[in-house]
Structure 1
Amino acid sequence: MLESAPQSAESALSGGDTVLVAIVLVVALAALGFAAFLVRAVLAADQGTTTMRDIARAVQEGAGAYLQRQFRTLAIFAVIVFLLLLALPVSEGGWGTRLGRALFFLIGAAFSATVGFVGMTLATRANVRVAAAARSGGYRPAFRIAYRAGGVCGMFTVGLGLLGAALALLLFDETAPTVLEGFGFGGALLAMFMRVGGGIFTKAADVGADLVGKVEAGIPEDDPRNAATIADNVGDNVGDCAGMAADLFESYAVTLVAALILGQVFFGAVGMVFPLVVAAIGVIASVVGILASNPGKADRNGLAPINRGFFTSAVVSLLLVAAASFTVLPSVSELQNLSVSPQVLGFLAVLAGIVLAVAIQLLTGYFTETSRRPVRDVARSSLTGPATVVLSGISLGLESAVYAALLIGGAVYVAFLIGGGAALYAVALAGCGLLTTAGVIVSMDTFGPVSDNAQGIAEMSGDLDEEGARTLTDLDAVGNTTKAITKGIAIATAVLAATALFGSYRAQIDTALAKANATLGDAFNLVSAKTVVGVIVGAAVVFLFSGLAISAVSRAAGRVVFEVREQFRTRPGIMDFSERPDYGAVVDICTKDSLRELATPGLLAVLAPVAVGFGLGYGALAAYLIGAIACGTLMAVFLANSGGAWDNAKKMVEDGQFGGKGSEAHAATVIGDTVGDPFKDTAGPAINPLIKVMNLVALLIAPAVVALSVGDDANTPVRTVIALVAVLIIVGAVVVSKRRSVVVGGAPSESQEALTTTAP
């Protein structure tokens, strides 16, 4: 059982604290200014041939149209949640705090959408420039453009996240942590929707394009004769750029929220200010890291400059945080059971987070890089068919999940040992430390889809020589690894943030119980039936969420397969280039399906904690969160690393090993890659915001759950009705989702027959 923390009496900002927060605000604005500088540098590059520009324009239009439709859909959810937040009680403050929390929910959602939109918009303009640079200048200029495009997204992530947190602290002072619950929830909820929607879009197109194009028609991945190619390139941007950018933004915002809440509990105002100072240091370190990532002649491969930028950023962060810890934090604390001074606590906790980021980066790289044994073993298994490819990838993912979970668990344990009486605050600071490199992490992630798109545009246009094609292939392989690494770091961040939020939930329960003059009792008893049920349900929700996401990709990919096969069958001129495929039809299928599939996983994430909390009580809800965090950690790493390994194994075979393109080994790795696509780009990454959304929902409903459970206001019938309504909505959404099929028009038998018609 977690120890209850004392509430600090000095929770209002002093004059010096206000100055520090104002400086942090300036640093946040400077991050946005540096992003503008990078934008100009990217857009100044040449856009290549007319054919390249035409293809890039189609991708830009498709991605922009998708995001506009998605934002219109999500605006309905935002309004509903805004009204619900106004109705829910707050633990501290009155109606002004309620309104602030609801407004900052909208701000968090808007910032998350902005990060996604900016990242996607620049990525769709950088990809053609990377292709043009590979054609005329070679590896170094192409790398520089791709990485700087990612840098824009990274600086928007840290800039807007820090801006929102600093504004809330300046405007609301003592009640800022409660207001920031709304800010974090807005970012997390929108990120989850963008992650799921974008993931379904991109993998439906990718799977459909691979199965019909590569396996059945025997044409290259980005061959212009494949009607799914434009949709595939669009999907890279709405999934990997917009979705991942929003995901990392909400990780950044939610970690700050948890740190501010717990900082106020344990150390008052200075405890709230210090995480913002650490985040501001991260902005400076990220700028240094991005600038240090220029490739040099001595670099052995594309990962060398990326690793140099990451490790440079980590070292700069550590040095500056050491200085900040011993100047911002007090040397002694009123807490009697604090194992070290607050200054040492702050430095060591952030150090633990930075070390965890480095360890996750190295571990994920080992399991997903083409030069390492695990991926080479997966590629070699293609010689015996697709079954062994799938089995080897699954076993790799399962094994790597154990090591990643041990690393993350070790970091949490070290933070607990460091923190003593302020253990949860140390965990939150470890999360802040991990995210001091957030700008570089997002740059690494966006680098992947930009490089992938550049290769697709070059192949579709045919305007690239062999050397240029090799350059883009190398960049794409590096991008696959960086995407896997950033997914691993994002998962670690999600666990630290969720653990800290769990502590915030406990603090909310204590506050609400004190108001009701009630005691905790045995609600957190580990051997009670409700606790066991809560843990099991929490783990089960992660499985159900993952299943829904992968099933949605399967259905949408089926429709894409049907459409591409139909176009090959009814337009025979496509194969000899005398007819042009209808790219827009596939884009439309992916857009409609991805937006239609958003509701079910979203309702599950929001309403499952409501059902458990009101139905079984706040103790069972705490157990539910523990089950979700533990299971989500393992599941997310398993899905991400399996998918990344399958993807790079396919790249190895396409580069000529084990038979090369067109061989049976190639077909086997393509099948493995299509299995891994929804693993690594839909379900796996979406688990990160899922566990944080559920923790934030628990945090928001905690006062209401306690109010209806104890004291004179206890109302079991109302609690039961709320829980039943939540369960019925979830069940109804799942039933509706499962009844959808891959049928596209016509009678089921006709559609099924069409689905089995192979391309000529």
Structure 2
Amino acid sequence: MVSFGNTSITIVAVIGIMALVALVVAWFLRGWVLRQHEGTPGMQAIAAAVQEGAQAYLNRQMRTLSVFAVLVFALLFALPGELAVRIGRSVAFLGGALFSAATGYLGMWLAVRANVRVAAAAGSSDGKADGARIAFRTGGVVGMAVVGLGLLGAALALLTFRDKAPAVLEGFGFGAALLAMFMRVGGGIFTKAADVGADLVGKVEVGIPEDDPRNAATIADNVGDNVGDCAGMAADLFESYAVTLVASLILGKAALGEQGLVFPILIAAVGVVVALIGIAATRIKRDEPGLRGINRGFYLSAGIGIVLSAVASYVYLPATFAGLSGLASEVSRQPGDPRLILAAAVVIGVVLAGGILWLTGYYTGTESGPTMRVAASTRTGAATVILSGFGLGLESAAFTAGAIAVAISLCFVLAGGSLWLALFLIAVAGCGVLTTVGVIVAMDTFGPISDNAQGIAEMSGEVHLDAALVLTDLDAVGNTTKAITKGIAIATAVLAATALFGAYNDAVAGGRATLGEGTISDAFVKAMADYSIVAPMTLIGVVLGAATVFLFANLCIDSVTRTASTIVFEVRRQFREIPGIMTGEGRPEYGRVVDICTKASLRELVTPGLLAVTAPMAVGFGLGVGPLAGFLAGSIAAGVLMAVLLSNSGGAWDNAKKIVEDGNYGGKNSKAHEASVIGDTVGDPFKDTAGPAINPLIKVMNLVSVLVAPTAIILSEAPGASQPLRIAIACVAAAIAFGAITNARLRANRAIASADDEVPAR
């Protein structure tokens, strides 16, 4: 039993108060955003339509997901363990899901009100700085909410359950990750189906500009930016925050005892101060590239985070490992200064985030060599655009994975041979990234807001040329910031998943220890030995884990393909059947496209979600905890490569299109432009649906594995174990997964059949 003294209680209570302060700051920032000018009546009318569509979609999505929340609550309560822990874990699941949904909802609600204000601000005397400030501070509201709610949940669990908090917080992290994955998938399908449909008919077939009010899919496209990028990414980063804290607390308790429980939340609390300074200090000047100002704000925040984390380490931790109440005996014998070692782990995480920022900006920025080469390939057609962009994604995935591998290796070097400590240091490195999460969320939200602002300006026709150029510049910056934050989110996901892999070992060790196999430390070492990669069953688990990532990505992209095809047919129909659209005398049926996207995305998000939950259950109960460990390793390795490939390829294709639209290689309405649009539409589901959804996927599968591993051990290894029950659970899980996939294939066949009589536009 780990003690939890008065000093720790006081520290956690103060951190809880800091979390409330972060929420208060978010409220005041929200008020500042809403006080800005809303623009002309025409702008406000378009913004109102976007608000209505986004609100309707998220309301229906929350009703759909509430059913899953109730089912999972019951399943978590049914897992074996102490009654208090089971109740706390189940309630924490609902809390994590609620907080994740709240951050996503807040991100969407404020973004659809900030977009018109950014469009209006672009026409001021310093439009670039004013518009950027509104967009960034809107993201700052969401960033402060992420930090505040994440810290509040962790602090309440620690104060209530003390040393049992990590087990309870497994439910909190699972709820946050599951909701984020559903919101990522559903929002991603909505936004990219509308975007692809609008581009293919509007730009390629009819030859009208993006966001032209004559295109029936434009409102749905702008709605999608908010439910996909704002709501989805806010929920994604919140779950990254929550899951990293969960993994840190589990491993911290095992490695360092009481100090290990408190230190991660102490480092995360540094993020409140960093977010306040970063959001206030970030400025985009009139005479500089927009991305430079945002990068400057991030690097300033990162530096402050490093300094404050080092101070916290030296104030809170003792000078030797012998002074820690660690449960793992090998940790107490470690040489070196824990203050220096843990501070160095934080630095590793922050430097990794900065490195990912640079790498992603290099591969996707409009002024970078790789993206310029993709833009140049538009001169020879769509095929070379796709080939060059896909190759760029492959290269960037290799270098990004290499950077993450170096960071993980440095954590093992710092640990001096202690596996417990190494895994904890990886989790602490993830906490280092969390010190900048408020600024990261602000950077991400900047993208869809600036995109919507440009759309509102173009659809209203009430913005002068100089303001339109400002909005185009901010939109290009926003594309890069979205790609950058996706890269950082991927790095955080890998660190969290690797730490959760250690937490999985801890869960297996705990289950084995209850069977009388010695101490948790002894069982932990034995569990690691059982996961030998040369064991055929473990290798099978590795292959299945990697395959699950590929299948999940396929389901996401295929869902966008089907829904986008429906949108294409609908937009074509409206151009044919509604007279006067092209002359501006007829009004497109915007609501019909929004409704199609809403219904399709809510229907399609079920299959990937079921796969994420049931696949690890089928492996764990069917093959055992050793193959399940291999399954997690395979999913982490394939997940990081696939996520970076999809995100960076899509980002490069998007910005290559903007390079052409700026007048290069023939400009708009040229053959090069048509090729760039094709590349962009291929990249849309890559970067905004499948790629970012892989982040919560690997954490959901890790957390499911952590939760079910003890039960799998009891059913397979305990005296009187029920092998038939274990196999039955595995078969049911596999049947649910295959049934959902089969149903998706049947929907695809029906979609093809229903389109056979469609007359293509001419």
Counterpart check, 1:757 vs 2:760: yes
Q: How many angstroms does 1:751 deviate by? A: 3.0
On the 8 A contact 2:321/2:336 being kept in 1, the answer is: no
2:328 alignment counterpart: none
Q: How does 1:59-70 map to 2 (within 5 A)?
A: 59-70=50-61
Going from structure 1 to structure 2, the CA distance change for 1:83 and 1:567 (only over 3 Å counts) comes to same
**Is the counterpart of residue 398 in structure 1 residue 394 in structure 2?**
yes
- TM-score when scaled to structure 1? 0.96
Taking structure 1 as reference, are residues 666 and 339 closer, same or farther at Cα in structure 2, changes over 3 Å only?
Answer: farther
Where does 1:463-542 land on structure 2 (aligned, <5 Å)?
463-518=462-517, 520=526, 523-542=530-549
Q: Say which SS state the counterpart of residue 321 (structure 2) adopts.
A: coil
Task: Give the letter for the 2:530 counterpart.
Answer: A
- 2:345–2:411 CA contact under 8 A, matched in 1: yes
Of 735, 738, 746, the match for 2:745: 738
Q: How does 1:181-220 map to 2 (within 5 A)?
A: 181-220=170-209
Partner residue in 2 for 1:359: 355
> Does 2:404 align with 1:436?
no
Superposition deviation, residue 336 in structure 1: 4.7
Which amino acid is 1:241 matched to? Answer: C
Q: Which residue of 2 aligns with 1:551?
A: 558
The residue number in structure 2 matching 1:82 is: 73
Question: Over residues 202-225 of structure 1, what are the superposed CA-to-partner deviations in whole Å (9 max), with x where a residue is unaligned?
Answer: 000000000000000100010000
The answer as to 2:259 corresponding to 1:270 is yes
Among 164, 167, 171, the alignment partner of 2:160 is 171
8 Å CA contact 1:340–1:418 kept in 2: the answer is no
Maintained 8 Å contact 1:339/1:418: no
- What is the distance in 2 between the residues matched to 1:40 and 1:262? 40
In structure 1, what is the Cα distance between the partners aligned to 2:190 and 2:317? 47
Q: How does 1:229-628 map to 2 (within 5 A)?
A: 229-297=218-286, 300-334=288-322, 335-420=331-416, 421=418, 422-518=421-517, 520=526, 523-628=530-635
Which AA in structure 1 matches 2:34?
A: L
Question: Using the alignment, how far apart are the partners of 2:623 and 2:722 within structure 1?
Answer: 13
Query: What are the residue-to-residue correspondences of 1:633-648 with 2, within 5 Å?
Result: 633-648=640-655
Say whether 1:663 aligns with 2:670. yes
- For residue 440 of structure 1, what is the amino acid of its counterpart? V
Match of 1:5 in 2: none
SS at match of 2:716: coil
Task: Verify: 1:692 aligned to 2:699, yes or no.
Answer: yes
Asked if the contact 2:16–2:156 (Cα under 8 Å) also holds between the matched residues in 1, the reply is yes
Shift, 1:633, TM fit? 0.4
Structure 2 counterpart of 1:110, one-letter code: L
**2:621 maps to amino acid:** F
- Pair 1:631-2:641 in alignment: no
- The Cα of 1:305 is off from its aligned counterpart by 1.5
Q: Secondary structure at the match of 1:224?
A: coil
1:95 to 2:91 alignment: no
Deviation at 1:750, TM superposition (A): 6.8
Deviates more, 1:442-451 or 1:337-346: 337-346
CA drift of 1:740 comes to 1.1
Contact 1:123 1:241 survives alignment (8 Å):
yes
Asked if the contact 1:329/1:342 (under 8 Å) is kept, the reply is: yes
How far apart are residue 339 of structure 1 and its match?
4.7
One-letter amino acid of the counterpart of residue 511, structure 2:
A
Kept in 1, the 8 Å contact 2:363–2:392? The answer is yes
Q: Displacement of 1:710 after TM fit?
A: 0.8
Q: In the superposition, relative to structure 1, how do residues 480 and 712 fare at CA in structure 2: closer, same or farther (>3 Å)?
A: same
Measured in 1, the distance between the counterparts of 2:695 and 2:184 equals: 10
TM-score between both structures, scaled by the size of structure 2: 0.96
Determine if contact 1:353/1:433 at 8 Å carries over to the other structure. yes
Shift of 1:136: 3.2
Q: Percent identity?
A: 60
Match of 1:13, SS state, is coil
Q: Secondary structure at the match of 1:614?
A: helix
Partners of 2:73 and 2:401 in 1: CA distance: 35
Residue among 3, 21, 41 paired with 2:12: 21
| Whole-Å separation in 2 of the counterparts to 1:266 and 1:44 | 49
Q: Which runs of 5+ in 2 are unaligned?
A: 323-330, 518-522
Deviation at 1:17, TM superposition (A): 0.8
How many residues align structurally?
742
Q: Say if 1:582 and 1:18 are closer, same or farther in 2 by CA, change over 3 A.
A: same
* Aligned AA (1:221): E
Q: Take 2:721 and 2:318, find their aligned partners in 1: how far apart are those partners?
A: 42
Is the CA contact (8 Å cut-off) linking 1:292 and 1:308 kept in structure 2?
no
| Deviation (angstroms), 1:330 | 1.9
**Distance in 2, Cα, partners of 1:413 & 1:31:** 34
* 2:40 counterpart (35, 46, 49): 49
